[in-house]
Chains A and B, each alone.
Chain A
Amino acid sequence: MIESQEDKMAGRRLEELRLYLRQQPVMLALLAVLALVFFLAVTVLSRTYHAQRDALGNRWYSRGVGDLSARRFESAVTEFRAALLYSRDNYVYQLNLAEALIGLKRTGEASAYLVNLWDRQPEDGLVNLELGRIAGQKGQTEQALRYYHNAVYAAWPGDQEVKRREARLELIEYLLSIHARAQAQSELIALEENLGEDPAQQERVGDLFLQAQDYEHALGAYHLSLRSDRHNEGALAGAGMAAFQLGRYPLAERYLQAAVAGNPGDAQSADRLKTTELVLRMDPFRRQISVAQRDRNVVAAFATAGQRIKSCGVPKGAVASQPNLADRWARMKPQISEQDLRRDPDLVEAAMDLVFGIERQTSATCATPVGTDLALLLIAKLHEGN
C-alpha cells in the first residue's frame, strides 16, 4: 500500500514536472539553453574549420610567392587562386594574383582584381601603380594619369620616399611616351627637388630631361651626377648630348671626348663628337680663329653647300618668287675666294647667308644632312638671329 502510494506520489510529481516543462516560458528557457549549447559547439567547429582553411590558404600562398619571384607566372596564378579558395577576400592574395596575371599579360583579369582592391584601399600605392600601367597600356590616358598621381602620393610599405620617387619616374616615362613633354618637365622639376645626390638617380633624371627636351635641366642633372662620379660614362654622354643640343659645342666636345674615351663602343657619342668637332672646326664666326682661317672656312662651307645643292637638284617646293638658290650660288661662286673675302668682309656674311639658306632648304626637302652639311646646319642654327 505504502509503495503504491509512493508510486502515485512519484507519478504525480513526474506529471507535475511534465506539465511544468510544457509551460511556454519554461520551454523557451530550455530552448535558449539548447541554442547556447549548439552555439558553443558550432563555435568550436568553426574555429577548427577556419584554422584549417587559413593554413591551406597560407600554404598555397607561400608556393605562389615562390613561383612569382621565380617568374613562373602560370603556376603562381594557379596557386594564388587556390589560396583565394580559402580566403576569398584576402587583400594580399588578390594583389599577388593580380601581379602574376600581369606577368602573364592577362591585364583584363588583373585589372578586375586591382579595381576591386582599389575600392577597398584607394590609397594603396602598388595597386594604383599597377592600375596606372594597365590603363596606360590600354590607352586610357586620363585614368592612367589619375592612378599614377595617386601612386605618387599614396601610402607605400617600407621606404615610402623611394617608392613614391619610383612611381613619379614611371609617371614621367609614361608622359614622355604620350609626348606630354610639358607635363613631364613639371613632374621632373618636382622630382629633382626631392632627389638628393644619388648619381644614378641624377643620371636617370638627366636622361628624362633630355627626352623631355629640357636640355638645361638635363645638363644640370648630369653635372650633379658627375660631381659624385666624374667618370660616369652615361652621365658624360648625356651631358655631351645636352650641351650639344644647347649649342654649347666646346662643352659638348669635352664631355663627348671623355665619354668616348671611357666607352669606345658608344657609337652615338662618337658620331655626335665627330659632328661637334666639325661644327667647331667649320664655324667661320668663332671668335678664337684668325681672319685667314675664317675665310678658309667660308670658302669650304660655300663649296660644301654647292655640293649639297647639286646632289639635291632643284629643291622641290621652293617658292617661285624667290631667286633659285642654285642660281644664286652659281652667280656668287666666282666671288668666293680667300682674297675676295679678305678684300670685302661683307661678302663673308652674304656667302654664309646663302650657305645657311641652302642647308636649311635642303634639309627640309632632301635627305637628312650628315657630316659637313649637318655641321653647317648646326652652325646656321647657332647663329640664328645674329
Chain B
Amino acid sequence: MNHEPAMAAKPMNGHSPKALLQSVFREERFFLILSVFIGVFSGLAVVCFRFAIGWCRLYLLGSGAVLSPTRLLLAPTLAGLVIAVLVIHFFPLTRGSGVNQTKAALYIYNGHIPIRTAIGKFITAALAIGSGHSLGPEDPSLQIGACLASVLGRKMRLSRDRMRLIAPVGAAAGLAAAFNAPISAVLFVIEEVIGRWTAGILGSVVLSAVSSVVVMRWFLGSESLFRIPAVQLERPSELIAYSILGVVGGLASVLFSAGIATLRPWCKALPRWTQYFQPALAGLLIGIIALLGAPQIMGAGYEAMDEAMHGRFTWQFLALLAGLKIVATLLSFVSGTPGGMFAPTLFVGAMLGAAVGGAEHVILPHLSGSPGTYALVGMGVLFAGFLRAPMTSVFMVLEVSGNYSIIVPVIVANTIAYVISRGLQPIAIFDLRTRQDGLELPSMEEQREEGILRVEDAMRPVEGPVLDAQETVDQALLKAEQSAADDLLVRLRPSGWNSVTKQQLRALAAEGKGEAAVGSLLPILHIPALHRDHPLETALRYVDRWPLVPVVSRVDFRQLEGVVSQRDVLERYREFGEG
C-alpha cells in the first residue's frame, strides 16, 4: 500500500526541475564542482603569493644579481623582527611549514582552518622568503590552499565527512600551483596528508590540482621551476655512481632531520621574550653567510639550483652550498619563521647531487651524466630521504624534468636514501614536528609500513566432518555425534556453504525430519565464504553472525582451505597487539 504512491510519484519527481537539480547537485557531485573552484581560488592566491614574494625580494634585497652588504644584513634581520611580532600577536598558527596544520585540520578540527591563518601565512611567509630567509613558498601555498578550501567548505555548509576532506583538496591545489607540477602535488597529498587512495577523494584532489595549475600557468607561464639540461645514462654501470649519491643524500637527510629534532625543542624552550628575536637573529646569521660569499642560500634558491644544473659552480662550492643551506634552513625553521621546507630540501639535494656528480667526474671522467642530471636526481634523493615521500620524490623528478630516461637512477638513488634515512632516523620529519608541537596525528609512514593481518593469519584447519547438503539429517547427525566439534560446515550444491550445529541436527531429528536432506532444512540459504588473502577486518563482519566462516580457494570455491571463528579472529588480534 505504502509503496504505490511512492512508485507513482517517482517518475513525476524525477522529471521536475527541483528533482533534477537535486540529482545534479548531490553532495558528491557538488563536491567535485567545488573542487574546481577551490583549485581556481587556490591558484589565484598562489599567484598573488608569488607576486608578493617577488615584490618583497625586489624592495628588500634590491633588483640586481649581486646584493649590497647592507641589504644582505639588514633585510632578513629587520624582516625577522616584523615577522616575530606578527606571528606572536596576530597569526600564531602560521609558524612552521603548513603541512602538519593541514593534517591537523583533517584529523582533529574537522577540516576547519581559520581564514586568519591563510592571511597570516601569506604575509609572513612572503616577507620571510622575500627578505632572504632560507625557506620556500610551496608549503605555505599548500596551507593557503587548504585554508581557502576550508572557508569555501564552511560557506557551502558541507557535511562533516566532506569538510574533513576539503583541506587536502585545497592543499593539493596550493602545492600544485606552487610547484607547477599537478601529479606530484596530488601524490604528495595522498601520500603524506590523506594517506589512502579512495576514488571519492582522488577525483576532487586531481580536479583541484589541475585547475589551480591552469590558473597559475595563465598568469605565470608554463615554464617549469628549472631549465632542465639534457639527461642521459649511457651505461647501466653508472647506476653505481647514482647509488653513491643515494648514500650521501641519505646521510645528509639524517643530519638535516637531526638538526631539527635537536634545535627546535631547544629554541622553543628558551624564554618567551627571545621569540621576538629568534627570527631576526636567524636572519642576521643568514645575512652573514651570504655576505661571506654564499648569497645563493638566501630565499627559496631556485635561481641557484638552475645555475647548479648548468654547471656554474665547482663541485667543492656546491658541497659547501649544500652544507650552508642546511645550516641556514635550520636557523630559519627552528626560529619559528613561517615558510616551507620543500624548496630548501630541493636546494640541498640539487647542490649535493651536482657536487657528488662533479666529484665523481673528477675521478671517472668518462661518466655520461651531466651536473644537471645529478642535481635532478639529488633533488629526488633529499625529497625521499628528508621529507620521506618516496613515491612523490620519483614522480616529482619525472614531472619536473619531463624525461623518463632518468627514472632508473632516480629510483635507485631515492630508495637508498630512503632506506638509510628510515634506518637512522626512525621518525619522519613531519611526524617529528607534529610530536614536537604536542599533537598526535597519524603517521603516514607508519601506516604505510604497518603489517596487515589477513584471514590466513587467523584461519585454522577444519575440525570434524564437512557435511553434504544432500545428506539426510540422520546421516549428518551420525557423523556429528562421532566428532567433538559442535559446529559443522555444510557444502551446498552446486556451490556455496552453510553451517549447522549439533543441537540443530538433534532438534531436527527429534522433529521427525531424519529422512529430509540437511540443506533443505537450514533457515538461511548460505553463509558467506572468505579467501585466505582477505584482510582480517573483513572476517570481523561475519564471525559474529556465524560461528564458523569457511575459507575457500579462489580457484575452486568448493575447495575448503580452513575456517575462522570469532574466537580465532579476536585471539589473533590480541596476539598482534601484544607482539
Taking CB atoms, residues of chain A closer than 8 Å to B303 are 85, 88
B317 beta carbon closer than 8 Å to chain A: no
A109 to B312, CA, bound (A): 5
A359 to B66, CA, bound (A): 68
Question: Does A49 contact B54, Cβ atoms closer than 8 Å?
Answer: yes
A339 beta carbon closer than 8 Å to chain B: no
A42 beta carbon closer than 8 Å to chain B: yes
Interface code B15-27, partner A: CB below 8 Å = 1, 0 otherwise?
A: 0000001000100
A115 beta carbon closer than 8 Å to chain B: yes
Most buried by B among A43, A46, A108: A46
Residues 158-190 of B at the A interface (beta carbon under 8 Å): none
B127 beta carbon closer than 8 Å to chain A: no
Question: Does B310 contact A116, Cβ atoms closer than 8 Å?
Answer: yes
Question: Does B40 contact A53, Cβ atoms closer than 8 Å?
Answer: no
What's the A-B contact tally at a CB cutoff of 8 Å? 81
Band of interface residues on A: 20 to 34
Question: Does A60 contact B312, Cβ atoms closer than 8 Å?
Answer: no
Question: Does A49 contact B311, Cβ atoms closer than 8 Å?
Answer: no
Question: Does B155 contact A82, Cβ atoms closer than 8 Å?
Answer: no
Most buried by B among A27, A52, A112, A116: A112
If the complex has contacts A31-B152, A85-B303, A88-B306, are A38 and B51 also in contact, measured as CB distance less than 8 A?
A: no
Minimal beta-carbon separation of A22 from chain B (angstroms): 7
Question: Does A78 contact B47, Cβ atoms closer than 8 Å?
Answer: no
A14 beta carbon closer than 8 Å to chain B: no
A111 to B312, CA, bound (A): 10
B44 beta carbon closer than 8 Å to chain A: yes
A112 to B64, CA, bound (A): 22
Taking CB atoms, residues of chain A closer than 8 Å to B37 are 28, 31-32, 35
If the complex has contacts A24-B156, A45-B48, are A88 and B223 also in contact, measured as CB distance less than 8 A?
A: yes
Tell which of A32, A46, A79, A112 touches B311, judged by Cβ atoms closer than 8 Å.
A112
Minimal beta-carbon separation of A376 from chain B (angstroms): 52
Interface code A50-79, partner B: CB below 8 Å = 1, 0 otherwise?
A: 001100100010000000000000000011
Interface code A82-102, partner B: CB below 8 Å = 1, 0 otherwise?
A: 100100110000000000000
Taking CB atoms, residues of chain A closer than 8 Å to B66 are 78, 82
Minimal beta-carbon separation of B228 from chain A (angstroms): 9
Question: Does A112 contact B229, Cβ atoms closer than 8 Å?
Answer: yes
B41 beta carbon closer than 8 Å to chain A: yes
If the complex has contacts A25-B21, A89-B227, are A60 and B310 also in contact, measured as CB distance less than 8 A?
A: no
Question: Does A46 contact B219, Cβ atoms closer than 8 Å?
Answer: yes
Taking CB atoms, residues of chain A closer than 8 Å to B47 are 42, 46
25 A-B pairs with C-beta separation under 8 A: A25-B21, A28-B37, A35-B41, A35-B44, A38-B41, A39-B40, A39-B215, A42-B47, A45-B48, A45-B51, A46-B47, A46-B51, A46-B219, A49-B51, A60-B63, A60-B64, A78-B64, A85-B303, A88-B306, A89-B223, A109-B311, A112-B311, A113-B310, A115-B229, A116-B227
B residues neighboring A (CB under 8 Å): 21, 25, 30, 33-34, 37, 40-41, 44, 47-48, 51, 54-55, 58, 63-66, 152, 155-157, 215, 219, 223, 227, 229-230, 303, 306, 309-312, 372
A residues neighboring B (CB under 8 Å): 22, 24-25, 27-28, 31-32, 35, 38-39, 42-43, 45-46, 49, 52-53, 56, 60, 78-79, 81-82, 85, 88-89, 108-109, 111-113, 115-116, 119
